[in-house]
A and B are shown apart, each in its own frame.
Chain A
Amino acid sequence: MPPWLDDFLWTYQNLVHALGINGLLALSMYVVLAVGQLSLGQAAFMGLGAYSSALMTLKLKLPFLLVLPLSAVVPVAFALAIGVPTLRLSGVYLAIATIGLGEVLRAVYLNVDLFGGALGLSGIPERGEAWMIYGLLALAVLALWLVGRSGIGRAMEAMREDETAAQVMGVPVGRYKMGALLASAVLAGLAGCLSAHVSSFIGPNEYGFEPAVTILSYVLLGGIGTPLAPVLGAWVLTLLPELLRGFSDIRLVLNGVIIVLAVLFLPGGLLGMRMKRRAA
């Protein structure tokens, strides 16, 4: 590696990690929106992945290559518990239940000693590497792309347009919604594990309502036509605060203005085009 690149990566390593992790989080929101559901539990799933993996590393001293896949287990269990009762209902119930999940978990992290209370968990070994983050991100984009271009992706798009009509056409909408929520939990859990193991510290307030909305805004900005769109949205919204550093006083305002403009003038997102499916 040339010294200047090494220098650059060292200076900006937080940003490099954040771009990849936020890309994974955007995908975890995308899979749910892609079947027409609204969940705000991605931050909560991320927190479950972060806390469970940090404890596996700190208390059980497990090797990281074991901790990483295992970090998806707890988020998936919670997604099952919350999905079974709420996915049968239509409308905003999943969104409400997942907001509730985030708040309940925040209270638990704050009040249970095992989770370090308000101080959170610190001294997590920095075992996450950029190649792991970007490798997973590339794999996730590829897998979602291949699914999106198949009959399953067609059925997902149909569900998004008209769930009832899709079900009458034979699409098992219940199974697809649950599948999407589980995939979302896996992606967010892995992102949580990686972020805990690159930042060495996690706290209860990193996984509440605000990050949940931030993750949603990635996808709103990017779009849901293809899996690349939400990743692009996440990158723009992660880079923006850095680029606007000079305007630090009005940074949040500018951030908000950009999102409002995007929603008004780019209703399909930055990448609005839909998935091309070749008609054989």
Chain B
Amino acid sequence: MTPLLELQGLTRRYSGLVAVDAVDMQVMPGGVHAVIGPNGAGKTTLFNLISGLVPPSAGAIALAGQDVTRLAPDRRAALGLGRTFQNIRIFSGMTVLENALTGLHARLGAGLLPTVLRLPRFKAEERGAVVRARAALDLVGLAAKADWRAGALSYGDQRRLEIARAMAPEPRLLLLDEPAAGMNPAETEGLATLVRSLRGSTTVLLVEHDMGFVMDISDRVTVLNFGKLIFEGMPAQVRAEPAVIEAYLGHKVAARLAAGAKAGVRGAG
């Protein structure tokens, strides 16, 4: 099976700092894949490299077998890559529905002339887009608020809107950048249900600090530390891995835990 996303020797240097250091990684289609790591491990830089906001210093990125290393973010979106942002970046002055419609932009092909002349092609396309945007809002439970100004939504709803906007074009790969950040336990539980419900329709790659959340919903977990990939495996394997415990808690604690009867580390985030 071709991996949906393949990173080869992906590296990003900032003067003197290697934020992402020769990362080789594969994301298989289907399921939920999490990237974890302590603060400054390079998780957000990794996402910015994958979505094209930051050019790599070295290495290659392939999406469904196609090399996208040099493509602009909008071209990658057209190839089926969607993402959300750690700090919410909805278009707050626009309505909830317009936000979701903007997510569909790459799917709209009517050029300037059909648009200005309101040719049938433009109209049909716009109607189809509205249907898909509403379906995406329905998915996250925001259909009833479609005509709200996006900025008037609650924090949790704004995060949901980001997911709806990214899901509207039915991406092959959805990147979620710390989706649970700033959420209370009830909202996090709701989010976990939502992400699980996306399983059938897309592949999810997420960065998250909330370990309970990650262990709960992920099929596979990749651990980064100081820009390097230090471990990859099933959630249960990650919990037991000494290198991961050391990355989070330091080598002294890791040694003490290893010396103890059981090295069951939970809730490190």
Contacts and interface: CB of A to CB of B under 8 A. Distances in A.
Contacts of B112: 147, 152, 179
Contact of B93 (A155, A161, A170, A179): A161
B102 to A, nearest CB: 5
Nearest to B108: A151
A146 B169 CA distance: 24
Interface string B95-116: 1011001111111101010011
B115 A152 contact: yes
A170 B94 contact: no
Given A151-B105, A171-B102, A157 B126 contact: no
Interface string A128-148: 000000000000000100110
A55 B100 CA distance: 50
A274 B149 CA distance: 12
Given A143-B116, A146-B118, A164-B89, A158 B94 contact: yes
Contacts of B165: 169
Contacts of B83: 168
B98 A170 contact: no
B91 A158 contact: yes
A161 B107 CA distance: 21
Contacts, number: 99
Contacts of A154: 94, 98, 101-102, 105
Given A154-B94, A158-B94, A161-B93, A147 B115 contact: yes
Contacts of A172: 72, 74
Nearest to A274: B93
B93 A168 contact: no
Interface string A4-26: 00000000000000000000000
Size bin of chain B's contact surface:
35 or more
A152 B115 CA distance: 8
A143 B115 CA distance: 10
B101 A151 contact: yes
Interface in B37-96: 51-53, 72-74, 77-78, 83, 85, 89-95
A126 interface: no
Contacts of A274: 93
Nearest to A175: B74
In the A-B complex, the 8 residue pairs with the smallest Cβ-Cβ separation, listed nearest first, are A170-B106, A170-B77, A165-B89, A161-B91, A150-B115, A167-B73, A170-B105, A158-B102
